[in-house]
A and B are shown apart, each in its own frame.
Chain A
Amino acid sequence: MLSGIMIFEHKIGFSVQNIANYYLGDAAQFINAKTYSGVLKTILPHIISFALFSMVLLHFLIFTKHRNKTNIKVLIFVMYMSAFVEIFSPMLILFGYEIFTYFKLLSFGLFMGTVFYTLWLLFRSIMNK
């Protein structure tokens, strides 16, 4: 998680303008726009990594007292949805929908938030046993 946050900060940057510059390019900063095939090539391994990471982390909750609670179902949905938006928003940015720069940033934060929340639930469960 830490390396993911550091890579995001280093390569792209935690601001809407930085995300737009990264994907759409910026002549003043000599940044080239990303191509569809290039973005797709980066997206591909992330699809399966995010999916497996989410599935493995979430399914540990079955061992805890939180199984079958409604807020956990919301957590599952939010984690997968934020992962989906985070992965595919660059394609939409390249298609011209610049509003997805906001979604990229929000979904990254939301995904990280759900992961840390899940980890907190799991560690709390381990400590309380």
Chain B
Amino acid sequence: MRFTLIKDIKQDKMMKPILSGLLIFILLYLISDIFVKSANFGISIDTLNTTLFGNEDEYIDPITTAVLLEFWHSEIFFSMMILLTLSTIFIRVVNSYKVRLFFLNTLMLAAILSLISLPLAYFLNAFFVHIYLYSFFIWHIAAIYIALHSTFKLYND
């Protein structure tokens, strides 16, 4: 993470294309993640409830504990990597303290909330599905904005 130490990241001719490439891939990941969740897990209350708790009318079994834990495990890891990388770049390229404070806190809190609410929904109370869904979209939208803003800031002062 050498770019955390470079004095002015925008003036470094090597780091700019490297970070641009990384930000583009992160953007693609965030967008693809929404499509994958839509197809395999659900991005609405009904589909999420069906995935987690099953649907007797449609003869759909609920997700098993092992599969959920595996899914949750990989979500934690990939979310952590995205959050770490995005926030490190964002802090370096955006000068405004208030903008950094607002977006990074929104991103981190929404992401952590979505990760915590998923097992709570499965093991405790189905109400947490609502919290998972809203926090999932908030952190994805915040992350997409941060990635776009950082890419713009890399090439413009």
Q: Which positions in A face B, CB cutoff 8 Å?
A: 36-37, 40-41, 43-45, 47-48, 50-52, 54-55, 58-63, 67-68, 72-73, 76-77, 79-80, 83-84
Contacts and interface: CB of A to CB of B under 8 A. Distances in A.
Main secondary structure of the interface of B (DSSP, over half): helix
A37 B26 contact: no
A8 B74 CA distance: 22
Interface string B1-43: 1110010000011110111011011101100110110011000
B106 interface: no
A68 B13 contact: yes
> How many interface residues does chain B have, given as a range?
20 to 34
A88 to B, nearest CB: 8
Given A41-B39, A43-B32, A48 B78 contact: yes
Contacts of A37: 36, 39-40
B2 A76 contact: no
A51 B29 contact: yes
B81 interface: yes
B39 A48 contact: no
B17 A76 contact: yes
Main secondary structure of the interface of A (DSSP, over half): helix
Contacts of A63: 2
B36 A44 contact: yes
A67 B3 CA distance: 13
B85 interface: yes
Nearest to A79: B21
Given A40-B39, A43-B32, A48 B25 contact: yes
B82 interface: yes
B120 to A, nearest CB: 24
A84 B27 CA distance: 12
Contacts of A52: 22, 81, 85
**Interface hub of B3, B14, B15 (most chain A Cβ within 10 A):** B14
A91 B2 CA distance: 34
A85 B68 CA distance: 31
A62 B7 CA distance: 13
A96 to B, nearest CB: 19
A77 B17 contact: yes
